[in-house]
Structures are given as C-alpha cells and as structure tokens.
Amino acid sequence: MQQKKAARNRTHQQEDRLWEQYESMPIDSSVLTNMNRILQDLGDSDDVVIREIRREKPEAIAAAVVYIDGLSDSAVINSFISNLLSSSVKDDGHEDNAHRSKGAHDKDIVSIAEEMLFGMGAIHTVSEMADLYRNLLSGEAIILIDGAAYAYRADIRQWKGRDVTESTNQTSVRGPRESFTETLRVNTSLIRRKIKDPRLWLETMTIGRMTKTDVTLMYMNGIAKPSVIEETRKRLRAIDIDSVLDSGYIEELIEDDKYSLFPTVFNSELPDNVASQLLEGKVAIIVDGTPNVLLVPTQLVSFFQSTEDYYQRSVYASLLRILRFITVFISLLLPSLYIAITTFHREMLPASLLFSLAAQREGVPFPAFVEALVMEVTFEILREAGLRMPRAIGQAVSVVGTLVIGQAAVEAGIVSAAMVIVVSVTAISTFTLPAYSMSIPVRILRFAFMGVAASFGLFGVIMGLFVLLLHLCALRSFGEPFMSPFSPYRAVELEDTLVRLPRWLMYRRPGTSQGTGSTRIRKPR
Amino acid sequence: MEFTNAKISVRQFQILIILGLTGDSILILPTIIASSAKQNAWLSMLIAYAAGLLIGGFFAAIANRMQGDSLIAAARRGFGRWLGSVVGLLFLFNFFMCGLTLVSELSQFMTTQLMPETPVNAIILIFLTVVIVAYRYGVEAFARMGELLFPAFTALFMVLAILSLSQAKIENVKPVAAEGLWPIMEGAIPVMSVAFIEMVVLLALVPHVATNKSLTKPILKSFAAGGLFLFIIVALCVLVLGPNLMETKYYPTFLLAQKITVGNFLERLEAILAFLWIITVFYKTLLLFFALTSGLAQWFKLRDSDMLTVPLGMIMLVLTVVSTPNITVYNQIIKYYYNWFDLMFCFIVPLLLLAGLILRKKKGKAASS
Amino acid sequence: MSSLIGVFAIAAAAVWLEVPRLIHREHKRELVLFFILLAIGVALYSALVMEASLPNPFELVKIMFSWVM
C-alpha cells in the first residue's frame, strides 16, 4: 500500500518535472511547428483561435496570431490584420486575404507586420514555451513570426468582469461605496485613484503552479517599513501550491501563527480602507480573481475599526468604538457568566432576580450548561442556514426561526426564557464587529468559555480569560506585536483605538510606519 | 527557552512589580496586622511603607550590579562556582516555598469564600496549569498581559475604594497609639516581609529588562505605587470595618467589598474584588514560578526550561495540598515563623549577594588598575 | 483509584508533550532532569492520592526557626 502510494507520487513528480522541462523549451523558428505544438498542447480546444498570415514564398505561412477567444480583444486583432493586408495589397488590386503578389513591393510582409504590431498594444517578446503559454492563457495575443526564435506578445486583454458595485459584506452609511472586483488591474486602479502619490509602488508575482495567479504587492515607499515589505515578499515567494483561488489561500500560507484562531492578516473589500491603511505603512496584497485584499501587519484594534469611524463625527465614532469593545465582551462571555452565576454563585444575584430565575428554571430538565449549549448550537445552525439560503427566503426563515423556535422551546420547557434572551443578545452583539474575521474566533471561544464556566464557575472564566489574553499577547503579525498599541504601550497611538480623537488631534503616524511620530496633518498657518 | 533574549520594557517591569507587591497581601494582610496593632494598623502600614521603600532601594542596588546576568549567574559571579551555587540554591528554595504559600492562600480563599463545592485539588490544578501556560508563552507575553490588565485593575480598585469610603467611620481609628509603639511595630513586620521583602523575586526579571540605565528609580516608583495600594486597603479596612472585625474575619477586604451598596441595586461587588485578587495572586505566583523554573534551569546549565514546568507544577500541587490541612494551622505558622523565613531568605541571603557582588567588583578593579 | 489513573494520565501527557522535542534536539541532560523531576512528582502525587501521610513543608520552616521564638 505504501509502495503503491510512493510509486504514484513518483510518477506525478516525474510528470511535473517532464512538463516543466518541456515548458522551458525555446520557441521554434518555424511558425508551423509552433502552431502545431500549441494546438497539440492545448488539445485543439475550440477557443484557441489562430489567424494565419500567408504569403507565396518562402514559407506559406509568414506569421500567425494566436489568442484565446473570450480573453482577448479580438477587435484589435481584426484591425491589425486588416491594416496589415491593406498595406501590402499590390497593384493588381487583389484584396483577397490568401494571395498577395510580391511584385514591386520591397518589404516582406513579415517586416511590415513587425512594424504594425506596435499599434496593437504593449508589445514584448517571449522565447520560451512556458512564458508563451502563461501569457496566451492570460489573454494576451501571441504573434508568431516565421524564422524568428522568439514570438511577440501583445497585451490586449479584455473579458467580461463584474462591475464596480457596492459591497454586500462591508456596508457603510457614509463614505465611498465602491468595492473591489475580481480583476487585478481594476483593483489596483481603484487604489491608485485614492493615492496619487508617486511613492505608491506595485510589484507583481505569479503564485500557483496551475492557476498562475497574479498577486500584487502594494505599499507606500518611505512609509512602510522595509523589513515588513521584505518579509512579505519572502513569504509570498516561499509559497509553492497548485492553485490560488482566493486571498484566503495566501493568508493561510503567510500568517505568523498557523494554529491560532485569531487572524493576523487583515482583509478588506473597500478601496478606501486599503488606502488609509497603506498610508499608515501597511502592505497590501491584491490577488487576481478575488475582491478580498489582504493587509499586513495588523493589530487587534484594526478589527474594531471601521472606515466610517473616520468620516463621521469623532464623538460618535468614539462611542461606537467603546460599544464595539463592550459587545465583544458580551458576545464572548455573557453565556459563560450566566452559566457560572446560576450554577455556582447564586448568592451574587439580587433576591428578586434570583426568585424569577429560579421560577423559570423550575420545569427545565437540563442544567444551565446544556440549555446554553442547545440554544447556541441552534442559533449557529440558523445563522449558517440563513447565509446559504436564496435571498428571497432568507429573511423570513431567520425571523421565523428565531422567534418560533425560541418561543416554542420556552413553552415546551426545554429552555428558560432568560436563556433565550442571553443567547439572542450574544448572537446580535457578535455582528457589531466591522471585521467578519474577528467574529469567528469569538464564536468558537464562546463555547469553550461556556464549558469552563460550567465546570469551574467564575474562577474558571477568569482563568480562561487569562489564557486567552496570554495567547493574544504572544501573537505577532509580521514582526509587530498583535496587541500594540495597548501593550507595548505606545501612548501616541492610543488616539485611534478605544476612541477616535478628532482629526486635528491625530497628527502622528502610527508605529507600523517607518517614521513613528512623523506628522500626517499640519497645523493650519 | 532563551534566557536573556526575551525582553520586557521598563514599564512592563514596573507593572509586574506592582502586581506582585499587591499579590496575596491585599487579602491576608489586614488580619495579620490587626491582630497586633488593632486600630493602629494604618500606622503599621505607614511604617512598613517607609521601610518598604528602603527595601526597594536595596533590591535596586543588587539589580544594578547584576549586569545582565541571571540571578544564578550573578551569584556564581559574586561567590565563585561552589559557594555561588549554594547561594543560588537558597534563592530557589525561597522561591519554591514562597510559591507554596501563595497557592495555599488561593486555595483556602477559593474553598472558603467563592467555590466551596469544588474540590480544592481541582482549583489548584487549574490555577497551576494556567501558570504553566503563562510561563511557556514566555515572559514577553505575560508582561504584556500585565500591561493590558493594569489600567483595568487600577480603575476597578479605585472604584471599590471610593465606593467603600462612604461607609468610613473616623472613630474606628481612635485611640491612636494608645498602647505604645511596640504593637505597631509588631504589626509592621509581617507587612514588610510578606509584601515587600518577598519581592526579591524581581531580581529574576532584571536580566530581561530592556534598558541600560539604572533601575533604581523604576523599582522605587513601583514599590511606592504598590505600597500605596496596600496602604489604601489597610486604611479602608480600619475605617470601615473597625479593629474587631478586621481581626476576626479572615479576609477583611472581601468583607469590605461585600459591604458596598450603592443606591440599593449595586451590590455583590465582592466578585470584582475576587477578580482583582485573582489577578494579583496569579501574577505573584507566576513571578515566583518563573524565578524558580528559569533559575533551576540555569542552575543545571540547561538549554531549555519548558520541560521542567509540568513536574514542578505537580510537586507544588501536592505540597500545597499537604501544607494546608486547615486554615488555623496554616495561619499559625505564617504568623509566627514565616516572617523569619522571609527575613532570612529574602533579606540576609540577598544581602550576602550584594556584598559578594560589590567585593567582586572591587577585586576586579584592583586587578585591572 | 481513578485519581491514580489521573495522575499517570497527567504524567503521560507531560511525557508526550516534552520528550519528542527533547529527543529531537538531543538534549540529554534536560531529558534526565525531566524524568527525575517527573518521577518525584508522580511519586508525591500518588502518595497524596492514596492518602499516605506526607510531611508538611511548613513544618520544616517551623523547625528551622523554632529556636528564634
């Protein structure tokens, strides 16, 4: 069994190696050979279009334009070929594509073609089959020239992509609504529109052996820390994977602590969010094919900040921030505190509350922990189902589900009313966080805390809290401590954490940037 | 575990000292002082506070002479390999015993006040497990956590203090010094030993502090702050509870928190006090465990110290359970004998170390000049 | 009886946590010390669980300083 597996792995590796060797072969100088090779390698796929440019002598085919239908702008190719032909039509007035006389025309059609190429778009050369395929399958047109051991490629990529629309996941009341799309170039242009500084630099690399996904690094040179940029580059280059279909793949492969529940890489769909973080010295990783842009390094507080905080009045934004921190506590700890107090520390409740709670729990057969567990799991099921349901039914089912199931469960005596309240408040507070990636660890840890509370009461909850805080304090994101600016304490940066100070008070750039303390807003003269 | 690679900032160092100073004192000290000084407990505290600052200066003197060495290495430097190892061993023995007292007090508090139904072994097990986890995350991590928790700790402490003021009765303080100075002094001694002298453990943190400057001011400031916390507690106990209650109840600060009522709805705030107290006990235990484990690893010249954690934890758990058969026996020993233990191991031994380091330096100077 | 199993379970967990890494790095001295301390811990814990009478460490303190009082 092991031997078969090993043998299978060997043949796969051999196949890969053969393919790589094959791909690095140079382009043949004969157009015919190249054309046949391309057709054979691509299996004669229907969407591979080859437009031949013929002549009488020496070889029948002088040149060929190869492109993938649907990925390239065929109008450009058509106009190129028609211009080419009309410029080499001879006195006999033949406009027939296939036959032209040489006649007094001294220039070969090939050289005319090479001159007119440049009207198509950005032109480069390729000399290896691997490059040829990569560019061809990215949508560029390949122009094969007879007698040359190289080919030209023209960047005339065009395909149907999603329009720049509003984001469905990250909504905002005030502020830009544009969200990224699945096309890399559109996304980089959206960011360029926000930052028109020449120091905004891009680097693109290809990741994914089969998907050959374009991944672009964007940063503000001079503001982002060189160590972070270099570390990001290093980690991206180290990725060796078959496919990259979403930034999530990359996030998993470059994050600092692969076992932690907490994300150490930030992601966003909004260009203004990305732009503002770029200006703070973060590095953006844009992946072709997904609107989710990654940002590193990140801190815990970034997940509590929403772009709207900066567009609304500072007092309002500050109150919202404080609310978010409180709701995270509620979301994480409320069920556990309820379980702990009702199981171990009943003397802590005021007498009247104690009586009503005891009355409610009278008919309930299960201990508080089981109640809470059942309700929480039910809510998780409802939430997940609501996510997958077709939009039309989604609303109705979630409302119905919540009310009906909750009400019915109380009346059946399976859970107490107080528990339904606790679980609902918990569920709602999970979603005040603007960053979805932070609500996931909270939801998971909630169950852990419930278990600890059921076993060890408040003491257990406090101990669990210590372990959680220790873990958070030990996390690093690309070299920066995850819990800064709370600890290590950087008083300068606290202006934007629990509260958002008015803009005229926030005038220093945070520590993630190269120049901590350099000004970003100057006093009006 | 790299011994001196992990670095903590001066601020984190100070916070760790403050939390360690408050440690177990915040809960057990008032009873002990009151049994000797009764209504003058606050005076005892003042005297101890002043002495505490001197002790802080003493520790700072040692800290400044350690020159980046760990405690064991400094002992060996000051006394040579053999005698220095003996001195180091004395330190480790102290840390171990001190740790035992702390875990004992925590277990007693939990079983009598907060969670009587839970078996004490389980409580100690959980507590020590979290201490071990904290150790294995590294000193940077738990120092950062201390930095995080400290503002919340201070805020909650102040809230409790201010709320209890409303019930203060100034007559509880009188008569002042009616029986002379000796009872007051007698009350000051346990404070000095339990709160201030036991903080010799800070010497284990010194090699990890990222600074080249003198540590005197930071250490003194932390001792001042920690002492202030303790003074407030003792003073409030006297003012609100009065000497009798203070002496008879085992955990007067807990009683203090229980007495707080605001407008008839904000009751049961002792949970908050329990939270604060668990934080401080946790940190003092962690510091002692840290000093013990990393010190032991250095004593044997090991390259890694993580593997010692679980066995040491087991031993501590067993000995803690054994040493607290009941609370009266424990208090007896603590009250009469443990002060001398502290005096010997947390004062005399470090004094020897200081002497050793000074002499070595002088020898070095003489040799080079 | 079950507590005794618990003791050995904890000891086994400790071994499983630490030993592979120590062997991999070939830290012999650390390995030896680990097993010595673990043996002491398991012995003590087992004694506790089986309710043998263990000496109180604070008695030691008492003895050390009884001449003062």
pLDDT tens for B63-109 read: 888 887 888 888 888 788 888 889 999 999 999 999 998 999 898 88
Q: Which of A463, A471, A475 to mutate to test the interface with B (most CBs of B within 10 A)?
A: A463
Q: Where are the domains of chain B?
A: 10-364
pLDDT-derived band at A98, boundaries 50, 70, 90: very low
Tell me if B135 sits within 8 A of B309, measured CB to CB.
Answer: yes
Cβ distance of B303 and C27 shorter than 8 Å: yes
For the stretch B340-367, pLDDT in tens is 888 888 888 888 888 888 887 777 766 6
Indicate the DSSP class of residue A168: S
What single-letter amino acid sits at A234? Answer: K
Indicate the DSSP class of residue B263: T
- Cis peptide bond prior to A390, omega within 30° of 0: no
Interchain contact C50–B (C-beta under 8 A)? no
Cβ distance of A470 and B123 shorter than 8 Å: no
With a threshold of 0.90, does the pTM exceed it? no
Cβ distance of A462 and B278 shorter than 8 Å: yes
Tell me if B65 sits within 8 A of B286, measured CB to CB.
Answer: no
Nearest Cα of chain A lies from the Cα of B268 at a distance, in angstroms, of: 6
Average pLDDT over residues B254-275: 74
Number of domains within chain C: 1
Nearest Cα of chain C lies from the Cα of B301 at a distance, in angstroms, of: 9
For the stretch B24-57, pLDDT in tens is 888 888 888 887 777 778 888 888 999 999 999 9
Q: Could you tell me which CATH number the domain at B10-364 has?
A: 1.20.1740.10
Cβ distance of A487 and B278 shorter than 8 Å: no
Spell out the alpha helix ranges (H) of A361-405. 368-388, 391-400
Tell me if A241 sits within 8 A of A253, measured CB to CB.
Answer: yes
Give residue C55's domain range: 2-65
For residues A91 and A105, what is the distance between their CA atoms, to the nearest angstrom? 10
What single-letter amino acid sits at A415? Answer: V
Interchain contact C63–B (C-beta under 8 A)? no
Q: What is chain B's mean pLDDT, rounded?
A: 85
> What pLDDT does B119 receive?
87
For residues B4 and B77, what is the distance between their CA atoms, to the nearest angstrom? 17
Nearest chain C alpha carbon to B297: C30
When CB atoms are compared, the residue of B126, B148, B282 closest to A460 is: B126
> What pLDDT does B32 receive?
82
> What pLDDT does B226 receive?
92
Coil, strand or helix at A471: helix
> What pLDDT does B222 receive?
94
**Would you say residue A14 has pLDDT above 90?**
no
Residue B216 burial (C-beta neighbours within 10 Å; 0-12, 13-18, 19+): middle
Give contacts of B 14-43 with C, CB under 8 A. Answer: none
pLDDT-derived band at A106, boundaries 50, 70, 90: very low
Q: Which of B15, B145, B268, B278 to mutate to test the interface with A (most CBs of A within 10 A)?
A: B145
Residues of chain B contacting C45 with CB distance shorter than 8 Å: 314, 317-318
Residue B247, both tokens: 């002496």
How far, in Å, are A214, A363, B305 from residue B289 at the CA level? 51, 48, 12
Cβ distance of C61 and B319 shorter than 8 Å: no
* Choice between A207 and A171, residue whose per-residue pLDDT is larger: A207
Nearest chain C alpha carbon to B318: C45
* Choice between B71 and A287, residue whose per-residue pLDDT is larger: A287
When CB atoms are compared, the residue of A350, A473, A488 closest to B267 is: A350
> What pLDDT does A486 receive?
78
Q: How many CB atoms lie within 10 A of CB B177?
A: 12
Find which of A354-368, A417-431, B166-180 is predicted with most confidence, using mean pLDDT: A417-431
Tell me if B102 sits within 8 A of B194, measured CB to CB.
Answer: no
* Choice between A284 and C53, residue whose per-residue pLDDT is larger: A284
